[in-house]
Amino acid sequence: MSSGFSQVIKASHKALDDMKYEIAGELGLPVFKGSEDYWGHIMTKDAGAVGGHMTRKLVAFGEMALSQQNKSE
């Protein structure tokens, strides 16, 4: 039995990481993409806001993709 998380699409990690930093920048959070991925100086509510915005964008993208798929059928 395997343990841990396995990604369905391996390349999704970079896209999600880029989205995370883009949203953090939009929210004015002082995080920068570099060799270290350290967010220890960010308050929990701010980190949660980044995750919440990511989730909203991903859900909206999924809904749009399903809507386009239904229109083409």
Are 39 and 33 contacting, i.e. CB atoms less than 8 angstroms apart? Answer: no
Runs of H (alpha helix) within the chain: 12-26, 44-72
Residue 71's pLDDT is 80
Digit-by-digit pLDDT tens for the chain (73 residues) are 455 666 678 788 889 989 999 999 999 998 887 767 788 889 999 999 999 999 999 999 999 999 988 887 7
Count other C-beta atoms under 10 Å from residue 35's C-beta. Answer: 5
pLDDT at 1: 45
CB–CB of 31/24 below 8 Å?
yes
Domain layout of the chain by residue ranges: 12-72
pLDDT of amino acid 2? 54
pLDDT at 69: 84
